[in-house]
């Protein structure tokens, strides 16, 4: 099936196409970088935070379809990036919008989204029926595809269809090796505050020390740890347990990231298992949650359409409360595979899938969602205090109020 060319709802020739692996061709108007790239297509239901979404390393090798129709109105800036090493451009490779990119109208805007997309190397397409594409994904799952942009409107559709059909997809793909910053570093930046911007933490010698394993970590996660007074050391995804413990941490964080957890787990799971056995508090998010589950003996599965948005309801069984959270994952922990001694702590109220676990009798827990909320609601910020409190208890210190 091929759709009519409808960029900007005019009769202009198409300058960008999305070619799905099943042969479907969607034509529209091109923005951002030129060229063509293979990736998996997902949809995101958030109404804010497009820059944070596009720079989230968990979106590596993905094309994000934005269901909110108006994108670009706050422009872009250098403060709202989420990848730790922006020069490496780890994050979404493509973006799809319903309407033309909106001109920026925000006091923080430094650059038009189109120019930013070009500089970032992201291919963008607008002028298509994003509701229809979202419905297609819901019915058939997240497809492999090629997104292409040529200002001259010249496309070899047969070649693009062959590329889309031949691309291997995300199952079996270790993308964390490319998403990790790849080196040891210290993080000091604290969360943004109106209207002072970001601050800087200057921890003293008695400060809690957290070592974060970087599988594609988001900046706002590290900011929240730093904002609670912790000294944060970031290590690459391939760090061994001995290297982690050699930094003498009080707690260990397993970050978010892209790709198949089983593939990254080939080298990360033995490390995580040793870190759990160390007795130190461990906290995992997203990919870190999935690989912690693998280390404990559970299984992960590829999801049909994944969870991508900032309006997902999740229930915390430990408190009985429901929180609205930010999600971004295409793999999930199979709840039925959790072994004895591991408790499911959080569950999605959309589809019942697993969203959290804790190890009985140990200071070890993780969640599937993105509690740092960048973008999204801040309902889950308490999880960072929960982790800090596990460390404080181990150190014999007074704990913080979770909320």
DSSP string, 19-85: EETTS-EEEEEEEES-EEEEEEEEEE--SS-HHHHHT-GGGTTEEEEESSS---TT-B-SSS--BS-
Domains in the chain with CATH codes: 7-166 (3.50.30.20), 176-394 (3.40.50.880)
* Entry pTM: 0.96
What local confidence, expressed as pLDDT, does residue 11 receive? 55
Distances (CA, A) of 173 to 22, 60, 167: 21, 11, 12
What local confidence, expressed as pLDDT, does residue 286 receive? 98
What is the rounded distance in angstroms from the CA atom of residue 209 to the CA atom of residue 202?
12
Sign of CA dihedral 248, 250, 252, 253: negative
Q: Is residue 281 classed as helix, strand or coil in its secondary structure? A: coil
State the catalytic residues. Answer: 286, 370, 372
What local confidence, expressed as pLDDT, does residue 321 receive? 96
Measure CA 292 to chain center.
Answer: 17
Low-confidence ranges of the chain (pLDDT < 70): 1-11
What local confidence, expressed as pLDDT, does residue 32 receive? 98
What is the rounded distance in angstroms from the CA atom of residue 97 to the CA atom of residue 124?
8
What local confidence, expressed as pLDDT, does residue 397 receive? 96
Per-residue pLDDT tens digits for 255-272: 999 999 999 999 999 999
Per-residue pLDDT tens digits for 85-142: 877 789 999 999 999 999 999 999 999 999 999 999 999 999 999 999 999 999 999 9
């Amino acid at each position: 099936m091929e759709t009519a060319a409808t960029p900007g709802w005019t009769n202009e020739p198409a300058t960008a196409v999305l070619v799905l692996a099943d042969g479907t061709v969607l034509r529209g108007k091109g923005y951002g970088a030129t060229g063509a790239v293979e990736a998996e297509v997902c949809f995101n239901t958030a109404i804010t935070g497009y820059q944070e979404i596009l720079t989230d390393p968990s979106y590596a090798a993905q094309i994000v379809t934005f269901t909110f129709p108006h994108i670009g109105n706050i422009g872009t800036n250098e403060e709202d990036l989420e990848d730790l090493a922006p020069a490496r451009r780890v994050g979404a490779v493509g973006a799809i919008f319903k309407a033309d990119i909106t001109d920026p109208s925000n006091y923080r805007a430094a650059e038009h989204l189109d120019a930013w997309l070009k500089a970032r190397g992201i291919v963008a397409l607008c002028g298509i029926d994003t509701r229809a594409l979202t419905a297609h994904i819901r019915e058939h799952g997240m497809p492999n595809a090629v997104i292409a942009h040529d200002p001259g409107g010249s496309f070899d559709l047969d070649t693009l269809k062959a590329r889309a059909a031949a691309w291997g997809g995300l199952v079996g793909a270790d993308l964390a090796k490319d998403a990790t910053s790849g080196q040891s570093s210290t993080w000091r930046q604290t969360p943004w505050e109106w209207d002072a911007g970001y601050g800087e933490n200057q921890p003293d010698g008695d400060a809690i020390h957290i070592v974060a394993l970087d599988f594609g970590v988001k900046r706002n996660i590290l900011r929240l740890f730093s904002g609670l007074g912790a000294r944060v050391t970031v290590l690459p995804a391939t760090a061994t347990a001995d290297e982690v413990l050699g930094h003498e941490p009080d707690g260990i964080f397993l970050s978010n990231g892209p790709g198949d957890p089983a593939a990254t787990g080939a080298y990360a799971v033995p490390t995580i298992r040793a870190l759990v056995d160390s007795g130190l508090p461990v906290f995992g998010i997203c990919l870190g949650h999935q690989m912690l589950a693998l280390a404990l003996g559970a299984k992960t599965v590829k999801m049909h359409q994944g969870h991508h948005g900032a309006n997902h309801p999740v229930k915390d069984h430990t408190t009985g409360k429901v929180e609205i959270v930010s999600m971004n994952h295409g793999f999930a922990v199979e709840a039925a595979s959790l072994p004895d001694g591991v408790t499911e702590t959080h569950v999605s109220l959309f589809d019942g899938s697993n969203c959290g676990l804790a190890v009985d009798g140990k200071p070890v827990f993780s969640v599937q969602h993105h509690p740092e909320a960048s973008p999204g609601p801040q309902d889950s910020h308490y999880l960072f205090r929960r982790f800090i409190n596990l460390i404080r208890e181990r150190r014999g210190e007074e704990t913080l109020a979770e909320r």
